[in-house]
Structure 1
């Protein structure tokens, strides 16, 4: 079996993985990064999810390198796309003019930008990307990971990579069971965490829904696909708490659980520069077409886009019939297949049965845009995973640390070992245990270093949703800029420990080492504290 050696191994090439690799490379270290899917970038690319960000993202509250990523996405549009002069001069260009985010864009553009950020290190031979590979085993030396065994997704060829530090940037914390690192899944009990929103008993298989997203546009002609095999099943599927069939415009409001009715009108003749993508003022989901729109045709010269492009990540594609990990492989595969089937049935329903505002039925001009998501089957390459295995950490972030109802005007807990900041409401989607949405107002929060440190294993660091949160606090630590921040810190911490001859736990446990590392983070443009903000 082939064996490779590196200083830092990053397993998983999502946002956290890319950020970790870049941070370690900029610190002068050698890195091998792996990725299971055809595109790096995770949520932003292979999962095709426009960035979910807080209201102050254009001013503060993200890392400097994440700000660079956002700016380079805008620059790419300005340099390569036929924008109208008005849109080209728009400082905070929102190519899709979607209401969910101030930067809605096509996933391939983010992919191109991230590949460009990594390209110099590939050329210099300091970065090797193993793609498409996934982890299948690990070799341990006491409490240290010696090496990770990886298998090619398509042909099964295996390679072992030995490294001084290993970063788990997979979407579901796949290295945790492989390395024997202690972890939790699903809902912790109230006795375990003291959280007001936790259940009385732990529910380890009660996890948030996964979604298989897809992109569509709307053109002339009949684009109707063949009726999916299990369409009749999903067409009649009606969760007890939904207020009607899953395939319909009615669903619970995430914050109030009141049954609300949304609409869908392709290609409204709206002005993209008038879109106010601030969910404090407007959730923006009244017309689902513009909610997660990733290309607004009026941003581009007349006729260049035949239609807007809309990204479908709506309540009706949430699959919560069963978990896609921590169950036997055949069950996990079955649930993923069923999630894909649900998304295809939603698309067919949109084409053939969805009520229109003009009183008609169906939008037969809808097309699946697999060219936008990089697939022939038309859906996203990878499932949108909201919840992962989570390390049993040196410090676990709980609801009481940041809940607006608990903390009030005091704001979220200030951690002495803060390594970043983030902001998002605790936003939990319906789950495999039959729960409805759980939505808890939160304060702008910090990321404690202790949440990145496994209690026992010394050279394995998480770089995403696998940090030490609970099922509840995962709901606000799982979004794009926070994942990037976590990954960047994991990469910098690995490089710093190699340079100083210390360990991640040693950095946290010794005040002078912690201050030195936090100073390094600030020099790299990572914000450790929030300025005073209001209206959240």
Structure 2
């Protein structure tokens, strides 16, 4: 059927991208009273958390176990927990961070629709945003392609939570990609689940062979702690000599009692914004899934009766484009826990760079109280006056993106962007003109933890 006429829709705020950042942005915007539309190209919400099986959420706490992310993100965890769809924050038995947050992705998909409808947000699924109309550095409207034709959606404010800075890029806002020099990005990973895993046997093998696992694993507590994640099997991986540029096996338990989520495949050297590269990444990722799952079943203690149960709808993407914004968060800002007067979110996740070309992972932890500030200016692009950005594509360096890209951090910046867009509509001003103290007050009233003395709750 041919649709020749553009159909018009109007809103106060349009959020592009239905991942955790976009969901939280839309919730904050909708709760402000603004007429809000959330656009998502898949048939369900959740972004990388559901599409690519990114699981669990890491992390709401510092290395010492102090919670630094709250607000809508914590509200979602509370509602998942109340429904029996998450145990809440649990100790990370990998030992990389203090806590991780397992969740049931299928229930998360349902809950998000409920919460968005409660907030009065209109959700458009199966809608692909592919054109942006700007006038004098202001986005006037965006075009989306759907099964029922093309829509031209007009709004006062726009929020880019696409992960790839698609809206910002198409609007003409300056963007960057990858590391300085060669523009190489962190590798992509096709995640998958296996069932039939004997987790008691896995844990006992860890206790009996600690030298084969990550040095930060809390071995002294493993007898009492529920197994939540495993990093290691170094000897088995080396002996298998698979054609995958990685040096260990990583998996997390759940959501089923005999189930694990495997984060071990690695696709390097391809551009997640190039359709041919992305196609090749999908092909290579699925071939690697078969290799790794066969290896785990045949070689790893506890996996002899395991089988492949699900694979991501698409490959997981750590890094593509990001905006070149009004301020780029620097490595030293993170490592030194630098305070910012325009702080709109905090995070305790370390810098965690999966090598774009090598085997390893480079990590560095936050000093001081273990958390760093994310300033509001990182959400503001240059040039475009009615656009906010949240999630993976905020303004950072390549190295710093390796911490801000994690889901709880994206949830926090999403809430901030949505709240700022709401204030922009309320006062008929540009996001850059929002009073930062008013924005911070709104965020605090919603449970966001912006102050160092907020970070008091001990982890588990």
Tell me the residue number matched to 2:114: 116
Q: Secondary structure at the match of 2:452?
A: coil
Equivalent residue for 1:387, pick from 319, 331, 344: 319
Bigger Cα displacement from structure 2, 445-454 vs 44-53 = 44-53
Separation in structure 1 between the aligned mates of residue 250 and residue 398 of structure 2, nearest angstrom? 30
Q: Secondary structure at the match of 2:134?
A: strand
Instruction: State whether residues 96 and 105 of structure 1, in contact with CA within 8 Å, keep that contact through their aligned partners in structure 2.
Output: no
Q: Secondary structure at the match of 1:158?
A: strand
1:415, CA displacement in angstroms? 0.6
Equivalent residue for 2:361, pick from 416, 437, 462: 437
Residues 1:324 and 1:290: Cα distance change in structure 2 (over 3 Å): closer
Tell me the residue number matched to 2:205: none
Equivalent residue for 1:148, pick from 111, 131, 142: 142
Residues 1:25 and 1:534: Cα distance change in structure 2 (over 3 Å): closer
2:345 is equivalent to residue 367 of structure 1: no
Tell me the residue number matched to 1:256: none
Q: Unmatched 5+ residue regions in structure 2?
A: 1-5, 199-210, 215-220, 234-247
1:346, CA displacement in angstroms? 2.1
Number of positions where the alignment pairs a residue of Structure 1 with one of Structure 2: 414
Q: Max radius of gyration: which structure?
A: 1
Equivalent residue for 1:402, pick from 308, 329, 334: 334
Equivalent residue for 1:171, pick from 163, 172, 182: 163
- The 5 A counterparts of 1:54-453 are 54-56=60-62, 60-77=67-84, 101-121=99-119, 126-152=120-146, 155=147, 157-188=149-180, 202-204=181-183, 206-218=184-196, 261=212, 274-275=225-226, 284-286=230-232, 291-295=251-255, 297=257, 308-314=258-264, 317-325=265-273, 327=274, 329-351=275-297, 354-357=298-301, 363=304, 365-369=305-309, 378-403=310-335, 407=336, 412-431=337-356, 433-434=357-358, 436-443=360-367, 444-453=371-380
Separation in structure 2 between the aligned mates of residue 96 and residue 414 of structure 1, nearest angstrom? 27
Instruction: State whether residues 13 and 421 of structure 2, in contact with CA within 8 Å, keep that contact through their aligned partners in structure 1.
Output: yes
2:39 is equivalent to residue 34 of structure 1: yes
Instruction: State whether residues 421 and 530 of structure 1, in contact with CA within 8 Å, keep that contact through their aligned partners in structure 2.
Output: no
Instruction: State whether residues 351 and 364 of structure 2, in contact with CA within 8 Å, keep that contact through their aligned partners in structure 1.
Output: yes
Deviation by residue 1:158-195 (Cα, 9 ceiling, x = unmatched): 2221111111111211112211110101112xxxxxxx
Deviation by residue 1:328-376 (Cα, 9 ceiling, x = unmatched): x22332223322332233223334xx42349xxx83x33332xxxxxxx
Larger relative contact order, structure 1 or 2 (CA cutoff 8 Å, min sep 6): 2
Separation in structure 1 between the aligned mates of residue 177 and residue 150 of structure 2, nearest angstrom? 28
Q: Unmatched 5+ residue regions in structure 1?
A: 82-89, 189-201, 221-259, 264-269, 278-282, 298-307, 370-377, 508-512
Alpha-carbon RMSD across the aligned residues, in angstroms, is 3.2
Separation in structure 2 between the aligned mates of residue 93 and residue 452 of structure 1, nearest angstrom? 27
Instruction: State whether residues 271 and 320 of structure 2, in contact with CA within 8 Å, keep that contact through their aligned partners in structure 1.
Output: no
1:116, CA displacement in angstroms? 2.2
2:6 is equivalent to residue 12 of structure 1: no
Q: What is the TM-score when the length of structure 1 is the normalising length?
A: 0.70
